[in-house]
Amino acid sequence: MHTPPWVAEILHDAREPMLFLDRNGRVALTNPAAGDRFGEWVRGQSYVSVLRQPSLLGPVEDAFHDRIPGRARFVHADGATETAFDVAILPLSPSDPNERGPVLLTFRDLSDREASLAMRRDFVANVSHELKTPLTALTGFVETLQGPARNDGPARDRFLGMMAQELSRMNRLVADLLSLGRVEAQSRRRPRDPVDLTTLLGKAIELLHPTAQDAGVTLTADLAPEAVVPGDADQLIQVAVNLIENGIKYGARPGTVEIGLHRVDRDPALRTPCWCLTVTDDGPGIAPEHLPRLTERFYRVDGARNRSGGGTGLGLAIVKHIVNRHRGRLRIDSNPGQGTCVTVHLPDG
């Protein structure tokens, strides 16, 4: 059967597996997602032999005979793993009204949805917990100020100082959450403004110079004279500040944080020319079991120590989202005892 070319285009771009059944019930077209999921053998097969499960076959039959759209649950078993799908069954108009029309099946992965719901629940629980800690502390301070410390001037000053610290923690947390939300909302829109990374890194270094000095950390820079990428300057400076700040906070004291920027003619993973930003410290490093989890929200290697240091554990999650939005990639290499090197590759076009 002849299938219009636009059908193939729509199918090709869809992330969900899709099967296009011709009016005889044969799989006429599959998209790459369906090829990955079901295998290429399904092409040309009758849908009955491909799908097999009565819960889905019935509604597909109805779609062919009565042109009724439907939904059905379908479980695909692949070795030891089973994946549940919600299948949308859409009868399409036939070119000749006296004939049966084709039917389009779209498979929505329910395990993805369930995983994302679980992630959302975790996220809300984490945020509540992070806010609860400073709130509990503030409540305690207020009670002390109302009671025992009421007439004790020096104690009052000390408590007010601690309250200010807790409040600034909460402010930082909320600012980071807002920033994460913004980056996530824009994740599909790739930024296009020309941004010179050399100038931008210079600004980040200048901004963090006082913090580094206070911590006894020397910042060194080895930057290409100019490095323009399509990007969002505000977000890229956030990346640079986060990474350099981590180097200062978690690196050696006294120590050195080296900031590098060089060109890569062809990045093997991104398959395009890139600029490569590296931030290297000479601190204690990170044990390998933590590396894959560092970009999770609220993940800290040594929770208690970093919390008192003021980190929210959102920095690298934000960095990762920003780098993804720029179609770049983030890599963290570390050997305990030998420092950490964070690399960001950004395509230059």
Ligand X SMILES: Nc1ncnc2c1ncn2[C@@H]1O[C@H](COP(=O)(O)OP(=O)(O)OP(=O)(O)O)[C@@H](O)[C@H]1O
Among 219, 314, 344, 346, indicate the residue that binds ligand X (CB under 6 A).
314
Site residues (CB under 5 A) for Mg ion? 246, 315
Copy the structure tokens of residue 284: 């204690």
For residue 156, what are the CA distances in angstroms to 142, 144, 168?
10, 9, 18
Q: Which residues of 288-306 are buried (b: 16+ CB within 10 A; e: fewer)?
A: eebeeebbbbbbbbeeeee
The set of residues, in sequence order, having a beta carbon less than 8 Å from that of 329 and lying 6+ positions away, is 267, 269, 270, 323, 344, 345
For residue 326, what are the CA distances in angstroms to 186, 188, 198, 227, 332?
11, 9, 17, 15, 18
**Closest distance between Mg ion and the C-beta of residue 193, in Å?**
25
246 binds ligand X (CB under 6 A): yes
With respect to ligand X, which residue has the nearer C-beta, 11 or 294?
Answer: 294
Pairing of strands 272-281, 255-267: antiparallel
With respect to ligand X, which residue has the nearer C-beta, 31 or 340?
Answer: 340
231 binds ligand X (CB under 6 A): no
237 binds ligand X (CB under 6 A): no
* Site map 152..191 versus ligand X, x via CB under 6 A: ------------------------x---------------
Q: Choose the contact partner of 340 out of Mg ion, ligand X, none; CB within 5 to 8 A by kind.
A: ligand X
Count CB neighbours of 276 within 10 A.
19
Size of residue set near ligand X by CB under 6 A? 23
**Closest distance between Mg ion and the C-beta of residue 325, in Å?**
18
What is the residue whose two structure tokens read 């030998």?
338
**Which residues would be at the binding site for ligand X (CB under 6 A)?**
176, 242, 246-247, 250-251, 281, 283, 286, 294, 299-302, 306, 311-317, 340
